[in-house]
Structure formats: structure tokens, C-alpha cells
Chain A
Amino acid sequence: MSTEPLLAVRGLAVVIGGRHILHGVDLDVAPSGVTALLGRNGAGKTTTVRGVLGLVPRTGSVRFLGEETVRLATHALVRRGVGYAPEDRGIFAALTVAENLRLAERPGAGGPAYGLVHELFPELKARAKQLAGTLSGGQQQMVAIGRTLLNGNRLIIADEPTKGLAPKVVTEVARVLERAAQAVPVLLVEQNLAMVRRLAEHCVVLADGRTAHRGPAADLLADPEATRRLLGVGRRADAVSEENPMAPQDTGTAATSAADSGKAGA
């Protein structure tokens, strides 16, 4: 285990329109593999990601590659090597697929990796001239993920990349993220626990705008009581097929008092 996290967030607080949305989120992204950011609807996952990127006003500390970035503009942080696939996919509907990808090009060693993107998503090559607004949800998600793979990024942040997609497409997204994570660490916001089980090594759970739990993802998922308490019940854990059940027991990584007051409504 390497010591220093790739991304270290401490005491991240976000206030929007006078409303405190994040009260102090702590979060580490390991220097390799997938770190899952979990929590019920409205827990503050998306706001955390947007706060890290500087897309909303934030306070606290955001260290990326050992450098404090909380005062950096979004574009400056991104240029240090962050690929971001937002929750709403962030597609430019009136631009073509090729133009959406071209926007993400950044000057850097080796040039844009179109070979990789087209190998993973052959459809994007075939549909290069199509307006992105006319793509299906799954195809738009491919554009969004493709944009994060175009540059030699040091970190990929994907916010619910499987949300609203058909099971077949979910499997494809999982396959691509799995492959991407072999080369680049991924911070994955995900509600689909089968995805988390398959991809994530580490997890951070938010509740009501605070970090409620941090630890190995397998430990959390192996503890039905903790899973239910932190993430709510009845999550769709069926969309990705999986063979091996996870390790036997956990040691209850002291999930803090995330007494779910039930006000985290969708």
C-alpha cells in the first residue's frame, strides 16, 4: 500500500444559497484502483465531487498529487490530470460526437488517445458526425467516459455512470471502468452495489453532508446491517452478474453515528 493518497479531501464544506449542503467531508482516493463514494440519495455525493472540482464554492482542503488545489479554478485543477464524467453526463447536445470529444483534448504527451477511446467504444467512431443530443443515454455516457480517457489523466471521477442505463449497457460501462482503473485511479459515485462489489476496493460513505464511514468496500458490503443503515435497503444489486461472493466477515469499521434521521429524501 502506497502511503500518500492521490486525492485527499479534508473538511470540505459547501454552502449554496445560504443552505449548508456539506458540513465537512473527508475523503481519500487511493493511488490505484477504484474508490467508491456511496450514500443515499441527497447525501451529498454529487456536491462533494463538484466541490472537489471547484464547480461550486467550497471551503476546506483538497490536495491533489500533494498540491493544495482549493484555491485553483476548475480548469486549472482539471489540467493537472482529472477526467470528469458528471451525473447528468455533461454532453453538448448541439455539438457532434467528434466535437464533444475534441473539446476534451488537452495538449500533453502523446496527444489525445483516440485509439483507446475508439477501441473501447467503436460506436463513437461510427457516430462521429452525429449530434450528441440525438444519442441514446448509453451512447451519451460513452461520450462522457470517452472524454475522460482521451488525456493521460491521473484521476477519473465518474458520478453515477450507470444511472438510468439498461442492464446490458451497465455491464459495458462496468467493463470499461474496470479496464480504465487498471491504468488510472477512479473515484466512482455509484448506487448500484453490484458495480461497487465488482469494481471498488475502497469506499467512503456520506450521510447528510458528512463522511459517515470509510474503509474497504468489501467489508462494508459483507455487513448487511451496516449496508442497510448507511445506504438504505433494497438497492438494485442485480444489474451486474457476479460469481464470487465477497470475503466472509468484516470487523465493523466503526461506522460513525450516521443516525439516519430520514430527512435525506430524494
Chain B
Amino acid sequence: MSTTVLLAVTGLGLGALYFLVAAGLSLIFGLMDVLNFAHGALLSVGAYATWWAAGGHLPGAGSGGFGFVLAVCFGTAVGTVAAVVLELALIRPLYDRPREQVLATVGVGLAVPALLSAIWGPDARPFPGPAALSGTFGLLGARIPVNRLVLIGAAAVVLVALRLFLGGTRHGLVVRAGVEDRAMVTALGIDVRRAFTLVFAIGGAAAALGGALGGLYYGSVDPGQGTSLLIFAFVVVVIGGTFGAGGSGAATGSVAGAALAAVVVGLVQQFANYYTASGLGDLAVVVLLAVLLLLKPGGVTGRLA
């Protein structure tokens, strides 16, 4: 029983991490048809910026209490800025050339880990965090690490905030409309490129927050973290697409679908890794993806078309 509880909460924590990456991926893809292979790099930027700040390099920031909150805010802000720069400098100039655009994001996705590795070395660095978040608490007989809850809570807040943004603001309305028909949005006199920059900023912020809190989850940062998380985040986006209600691929639906898919993927991975051989969890996720695609091909092509 206690093992099941621990696996479930850990799976949810992992799912929360996937969601923080997948939310932006899915919004960016839905609005712009851009597969952002640099999204994992944004997570890494957030993770390293938080690690750097929490290590005492940023005045006021540190590894405990308010200092750590400040470090996380700093990491999130750096990731947000990096995402905006990426959109303005690379994605926008290549907007008429989708193939080059994909190559550019792949390039950034490879260059950023290489750069981090060149500056701080290829090995994992211990991630400083407040004592309060490194402990455990008891739940139904299991000892649960507190950092899982932090991740789950942060993902829930991001999910609610995204829904409020999409459903309750004019910018959110423009994003939802743009997901349906970008050209018509511009034909109503709206500069849809501003929405592009905005979803990159939002997606970058969520991914960077995931990087900052992922440091707590893993206890360390390393240059490759973002890339490996990105693969599962893509799986989450595609599976989330199959959950969408019969092709009415609204932005709100894709975010909700990503949240649900992130939970499923995180749980499947954890349980399969524990109850079969370690490593089979990753395989199980891919099998799940394949089965869903075979059972419900329309749901995905509807979103990917």
C-alpha cells in the first residue's frame, strides 16, 4: 500500500513536470504550427539560472526561505526572456520557412546543453534547496518527499492560471481564435504575431519553472535534463491531442488534454518502472502512445493537421 502511494505521488510529480513543459509546447504548436524542439533548452536555462542564483550568485537569493523563492523567480524570468528572444530572433524571421524553423529550434535545443556543459561541466551539479522542501511527510503509511507536492502544486496553479488567461482575457481570446484560424484573426485587424510572442513567453515561463522545481525533484541539475524531459513532453502533447473532444481542438481543450495526459504518462512510467524492469516504464509510455494513435488516429491528425 505504502509503495503504491509513493509511486502514485511520484508519478503525479513527474506528470506535473511533464505538464509544465507540455503546456507551452501544445499552445505553441496549436497557435503557430511550430514544433519547438528548443523547449527543453528553455527548461534547462530555467534550471541553471535558478541553480546559479540559489548558489549565492544573485544578491538576495539563496538556498533557503525567501532567498530560494527569489532564485526560482529569477530562473523563471530568465527562461521567459530566453523564450521571447528565441521567438523574435529565430522563429519570426523564419515564419515562411517551416523546415528551416524546425532546424533552428533543433539547433538551439542542441546548442544550449552544449553551452551549459562547456561553462559548468557535463556532470550533474547538486541542486541547493530549502531544508523544508528536502524532507518527507507521511501519507497513508508512505514517506513522501515534499518536493513532489511542490511540483504538483505549481503545475495546478499554472493550469488554473492558463485557463483563466485563455478564458478571461482578450489576449487569451486571440490565442484561442488563432488556434482555429490564424489568417482570419489577422483579417479582423489583429497582429497575431504578438500572440506568438506571448505564447512563447508563457510557454518559456512554465518550462523554466519546471526546470527550477525539477532541480528539487532530481536533487541536481545537468545539461541533458531538458532534452530527455522534452521527449516525454512531446508524447504528452500527442496523447493529450487524442483526448481532445472530437476535433474541436480549442486551446483550452489542448491545455486540459495535456494536463490529463501528463498525469497518465507520469503514472504509467512510475508504475511500469517499479513493477517491471527499470527502464521499461519509458517503453510503456511509447506503447501507450502507439496504442492510442492506432485506436484514435482522427483525434491526433485533427490536431496535427
Contacts and interface: CB of A to CB of B under 8 A. Distances in A.
Contact of B250 (A86, A90, A94, A104): A94
A86 B184 contact: yes
Contacts of A133: 248
A78 interface: yes
A55 B184 CA distance: 9
Interface string B167-210: 00010011011001101111111111000000000000000000
A119 to B, nearest CB: 21
Interface string B245-258: 00011100100000
Contacts of B253: 94
A63 B190 CA distance: 21
Given A75-B192, A92-B180, A95-B180, A103 B174 contact: yes
A93 B187 contact: no
B250 to A, nearest CB: 4
Contacts, number: 63
Nearest to B176: A95
B16 to A, nearest CB: 27
Contacts of B187: 53, 55, 74-75, 78, 84, 86, 90
Interface in A65-116: 73-76, 78-79, 84, 86, 90, 92-95, 99, 102-104, 106
A103 B185 contact: yes
Contacts of A73: 186, 191
B173 A90 contact: no
Given A55-B187, A75-B191, A103-B188, A94 B176 contact: yes
Contacts of A214: none
Contacts of A58: none
A102 B172 CA distance: 12
Interface residues of B, number: 21
A48 to B, nearest CB: 15
Interface in A97-141: 99, 102-104, 106, 133
A202 interface: no
A147 interface: yes
A92 B190 CA distance: 14
Nearest to B183: A55
A90 B186 CA distance: 11
Contacts of B250: 94
Q: Most B CB atoms within 10 A — which of A74, A78, A90, A133?
A: A74
A78 B188 contact: yes
A92 B248 contact: no
A75 B180 contact: no
The CB with the most chain A CB atoms within 10 A, among B174, B180, B188, B191, is that of B188
Given A99-B173, A102-B173, A103-B173, A93 B180 contact: yes
Contacts of B170: 102
Contact of B186 (A74, A94, A104): A74
A90 B184 contact: yes
Given A74-B186, A90-B184, A103 B192 contact: no
A79 B188 CA distance: 8
Contact of A79 (B173, B184, B189): B189
B124 to A, nearest CB: 44
B177 A103 contact: yes
A87 B184 CA distance: 12
B184 A92 contact: yes
A95 B177 contact: yes
A86 to B, nearest CB: 7
Give me the 6 closest cross-chain CB pairs, A-B, nearest first: A78-B189, A94-B250, A90-B184, A74-B186, A79-B189, A75-B186
Given A92-B180, A103-B190, A104-B188, 9 more contacts: A55-B187, A74-B183, A78-B186, A78-B188, A90-B181, A93-B180, A94-B250, A102-B173, A103-B174
